[in-house]
């Protein structure tokens, strides 16, 4: 069985450009990752702040031996965004992740990564994307381990599963972060930057259940598959994705690598993860066929 790989997804939050640059530099120098995704996925208004730093980020990551993927927007609505997608799809020297189906179509049969926001829930969709040129597919988070195993059995390409972090669930044309502050989307003042890990949303009973990141709806709980990755790798999953948060992501990557390499027992790694992520509430319910906000004690493979 091939060794499972680790990917770092694109930063989904509105971090200061210098903070973002320094984060990626640290991932290049310190994190045990095979692949790092770079690019604005959530809101095109943030793109001008990030763009000047992308060349040096890619250069630093590549020099450190990481494969780099450029991730596309998840919702393309304007001519400006479509032109940017065409430019991204035309990048000949770097792999692109399509998070909107229009980007997959623009790739015109060239290899690309099918991102988790393309909603790949069955073998038919998987086969369609493979025919379009997908060479790796990151599955949505709501699938159970049995459903994932069915897709890995049918896949002709590498299957990736989201394994850590707040999960991207949906994207909207409206900006929830601006609306919560009585601002319009056009006049948002970039208030999403006030919540570098997302803004928690509560029910009327004051129970947190979602998080908001600008136009994006996310899970409140942080996905934690440390106890499940060896089982999933044994069932054909070739890669696991960690979503960036303000926690020590190099430390998070070390724990996942140690468990995958059988150098650390999963219960020990779980305890270490809790120390690295103070205040985070973990969940893995989807993998076990349960509601996503639950944490189910996994059955460990020795």
Distance CA 31, CA 25 (A): 10
Q: Where does 3-152 show beta strands of DSSP type E?
A: 5-8, 35-38, 67-71, 95-98, 112-114, 134-138
Element (DSSP H or E) covering residue 300: none
- Rounded to an integer, the average pLDDT of 282-288 is 95
H and E: helices and strands count for the chain: 11, 12
Distance CA 73, CA 87 (A): 12
> What pLDDT is recorded for position 2?
66
- Reported as a pLDDT band with limits 50, 70 and 90, residue 141 is very high
Q: Pairing relation of β-strands 5-8 and 239-242? A: parallel
Q: At what angle do helices 249-260 and 17-30 cross, to 10 degrees?
A: 30
Sort strands 216-224 and 67-71 into parallel, antiparallel or unpaired.
unpaired
* Structure tokens belonging to residue 289: 């066929």
> CA torsion, points 12, 234, 292, 252, in degrees to nearest 10?
-40
Q: Express each pLDDT in 64-74 by its tens digit.
A: 999 999 999 99
CA dihedral 180→183→189→194, nearest 10 degrees, is -10
Does the structure show a pLDDT above 80 at 300? no
Say if residue 183 is exposed, middle or buried (CB neighbours under 10 Å; 0-12, 13-18, 19+): middle
Determine the average pLDDT of the residues in 190-196.
Answer: 92
Give the residues across from 7 on adjacent strands: 35, 241
User: Once rounded to an integer, what is the mean pLDDT over residues 235-254?
Assistant: 97
**Residue 58 scores a pLDDT above 80:** yes
pLDDT band at 22 (very low <50, low <70, confident <90, very high): very high
Q: How far is CA 10 from CA 39, 249, 269, 284, in A?
A: 6, 13, 24, 21
Assigned token pair, 21: 């640059």
pTM (2 d.p.): 0.95
Return the H-helix or E-strand segment holding 44.
Answer: none
Residue 3 has pLDDT above 90, yes or no: no
> How much is the average pLDDT of 114-141?
95
- The CA distance from 135 to 131, in Å, is 10
CA–CA separation, 258 and 252 (whole Å)? 10
- pLDDT category at 109 given cuts 50, 70, 90 is confident
Instruction: Give Cα separations from 46 to 86, 200, 250, 302 (angstroms).
Output: 18, 21, 25, 45
Architecture of domain 5-166+222-280: Alpha-Beta Barrel (3.20)
Q: What does the pLDDT average to over 193-204?
A: 92
Break the chain into its structural domains and give their ranges.
Answer: 5-166+222-280
Query: Strand (E) positions, 103-215?
Result: 112-114, 134-138, 158-171, 199-202, 208-213
**pLDDT given for residue 228 in this prediction:** 96
> What is the pLDDT at residue 302?
46
Task: Please say whether the beta carbons of 283 and 293 come within 8 A.
Answer: yes
Euclidean distance between CA atoms 21 and 247, whole angstroms: 16
Q: What is the rounded distance in angstroms from the CA atom of residue 132 to the CA atom of residue 135?
A: 9
């Amino acid at each position: 069985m091939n060794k499972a790989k680790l990917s770092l997804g694109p930063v989904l939050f509105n971090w200061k450009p210098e903070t973002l640059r320094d984060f990626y530099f640290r991932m290049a120098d310190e994190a045990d990752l095979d692949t790092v995704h770079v690019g604005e996925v959530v809101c095109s208004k943030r793109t001008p702040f990030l763009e000047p730093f992308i060349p040096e980020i890619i250069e630093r990551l590549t020099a450190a031996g990481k494969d780099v993927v450029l991730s596309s927007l998840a919702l393309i609505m304007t001519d400006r965004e479509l032109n940017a997608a065409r430019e991204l799809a035309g990048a000949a020297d770097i792999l692109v992740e399509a998070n909107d189906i229009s980007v997959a179509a623009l790739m015109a049969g060239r290899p690309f990564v099918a991102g988790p926001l393309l909603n790949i829930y069955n073998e038919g969709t998987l086969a369609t994307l493979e025919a379009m040129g997908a060479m790796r597919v990151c599955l949505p988070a709501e699938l159970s381990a049995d459903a994932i195993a069915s897709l890995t059995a049918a896949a002709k390409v590498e299957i990736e599963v989201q394994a850590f972090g707040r999960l991207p669930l949906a994207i909207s044309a409206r900006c929830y972060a601006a609306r919560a502050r009585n601002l319009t989307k056009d006049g948002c003042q970039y208030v999403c930057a006030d919540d570098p890990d997302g803004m928690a949303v509560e029910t009327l009973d004051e129970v947190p259940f979602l998080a908001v990141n600008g136009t994006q709806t996310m899970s409140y709980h942080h996905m934690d598959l440390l106890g499940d990755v060896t089982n999933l790798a044994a069932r054909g999953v070739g890669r696991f994705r960690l979503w960036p948060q303000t926690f020590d992501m190099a430390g998070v990557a070390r724990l996942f690598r140690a468990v995958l390499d059988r150098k650390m027992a999963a219960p020990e790694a779980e305890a270490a993860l809790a120390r690295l992520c103070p205040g985070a509430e973990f969940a893995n319910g989807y993998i076990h066929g349960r509601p996503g906000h639950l944490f189910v004690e996994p059955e460990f493979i020795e």
